[in-house]
Amino acid sequence: MTIIKFSYRDAKGDLSQRELVKWSENSLYIQGRSASDSFPKTFRKDRIVEVHFGAELLLNDAAPPAPALLPKPSPAAIAVSAAASHQPQPKTPPGGINQILFTGFAAAHRAELEKTAIDSGLKVMSTPGKSLTFLCYGDNAGPTKVAKAQEAGAFIIDAEQFLSLIETGEIP
């Protein structure tokens, strides 16, 4: 296992020490879990204050690019889309819409999150697939969906991170 240890300053300005035993990175984020975490966490590279151990393992500029969120559609675009909704849509639309899967939430909460995602231009999925961008997990998330999403290279985020992502375009 490759271990990386670093100091991290979160969005609130709090400094903490992190140790990830299983992790991956892209151009903007490091995602992984510590030995005590059930689910991986996502860390912004620009908030890493110092890497104490494992700096030589980082890809840095050679890391793959992070997925980009599509801009929020305008009311006119929504109207055009609604008018064309009777036509079948292709499975992978041109421009590649980011896909998200919600798991482990109560039905009412999941419905609210799914509506927020759709309103923000994301495609909501019911099962993890190769084109999944994000998996948003709740307290009752099953390990199988999380593992499949990880295998697909999706970002694993919680509801708070999802709402921040929608609001700011960044994963905190």
C-alpha–C-alpha distance, residues 67 and 65, integer Å: 6
pLDDT category at 10 given cuts 50, 70, 90 is confident
Question: Is 87 a residue whose pLDDT tops 60?
Answer: no
Cα atoms in the 13 Å half-sphere on the side-chain side of 155: 27
Cut 0.75: pTM above it = no
Kindly state the average pLDDT of the residues 10-30: 89
Question: Is 93 a residue whose pLDDT tops 50?
Answer: no
